[in-house]
A and B are shown apart, each in its own frame.
Chain A
Amino acid sequence: DSGVTQTPKHLITATGQRVTLRCSPRSGDLSVYWYQQSLDQGLQFLIQYYNGEERAKGNILERFSAQQFPDLHSELNLSSLELGDSALYFCASSVAPVTSGTWYNEQFFGPGTRLTVL
C-alpha cells in the first residue's frame, strides 16, 4: 500500500459526459502528479501540482482540467468524454517537486482509476 488513495476504482460512462477522479496523496506529500495509461499510448504525464499550484503540464487535453485543494487532495476533471479517453488514470505523490541538480523524488503511485467510455 503506497499510501496514495484514488476514487473511484472503476468508472463507466458514456461519450459526451463529464467525470471527476479524486486523489489523496500520502500524508506529508505536497506534490501530486496525474498520469494516463492507455493501451496504445502507454503511460503519459498529464499534469503536476505542488501545494495547491499547477507546476507542470504534459500531454493534457484542453477538455481535461485538474486542481489541488488546500487539504492537498487533487481532482482530475474529464469532460466531453470520447471513446479514446478510456484508460487507467494514475495519481502519484511525492514530498516536493524535483529541481535538477539537487535531489530526487521518489513518486508513490495510487492504485489507479479505470475509466471506460462507452
Chain B
Amino acid sequence: KNEVEQSPQNLTAQEGEFITINCSYSVGISALHWLQQHPGGGIVSLFMLSSGKKKHGRLIATINIQEKHSSLHITASHPRDSAVYICAVETLLSGGYNKLIFGAGTRLAVHP
C-alpha cells in the first residue's frame, strides 16, 4: 500500500463545476503540499499546510491531521485548471530533515 493515496486518478469536469480531489496518507507528517503539474511538465506549488484550511483564489485546501486526510477544492472550474494535481507529504528523516513523499497524482480535464 502506498504511503500517499490520491483519488480519483482521473477527473473530467465541465467548466464551472466544483471539484474535489482527495489525499490520504499513512505516515506521520509535518506538512502537506499540493502541487500542480502543467501539461508541459512544469510543477508549481499551490499550498503547503500543516493544519486547518487555506484559500487562494478559487482554490481551497483543507487538512484533517487526526484522520490523515486532505482535500483540494476548485470552485468555478475553468479549462485552464486542466493539469495533474499532486499531493505530497513531508516526513521527518533522522537528523531533523524532511523529505517529500508524493501521491500518484490526479489528472483533471475541464471542458468548456
Contact = CB atoms under 8 A, between A and B. Distances in A.
Contacts of A106: 33, 45, 48
Interface residues of A, number: 29
A58 B93 CA distance: 10
B41 A112 contact: yes
B20 to A, nearest CB: 21
A99 B48 CA distance: 15
Given A56-B95, A100-B96, A43 B88 contact: yes
A69 interface: no
Interface stretch (B10-18, B64-72, B75-83, B98-106): B98-106
Given A98-B90, A112-B41, A112-B42, A42 B96 contact: no
- Interface residue SS majority, chain A: strand
Nearest to B93: A56
A32 interface: no
B100 A45 contact: yes
A70 B93 CA distance: 25
B92 interface: yes
B97 A104 contact: no
Contacts of B41: 88, 111-112, 114
Sorting the interface of chain B by its residue count into under 10, 10 to 19, 20 to 34 or 35 or more gives 20 to 34
Interface string B15-56: 000000000000000110101000001111100101000000
A114 to B, nearest CB: 7
A68 B86 CA distance: 27
A56 B99 CA distance: 8
Contact of B104 (A42, A92, A98, A104): A42
A33 B97 CA distance: 12
Nearest to B49: A104
Contacts of A43: 86, 88, 102, 105
Interface of A: 2, 33, 35, 42-45, 48, 50, 55-56, 58, 88, 90, 92, 97-101, 104-109, 111-112, 114
Interface of B: 30-31, 33, 35, 41-45, 48, 50, 86, 88, 90, 92-93, 95-105
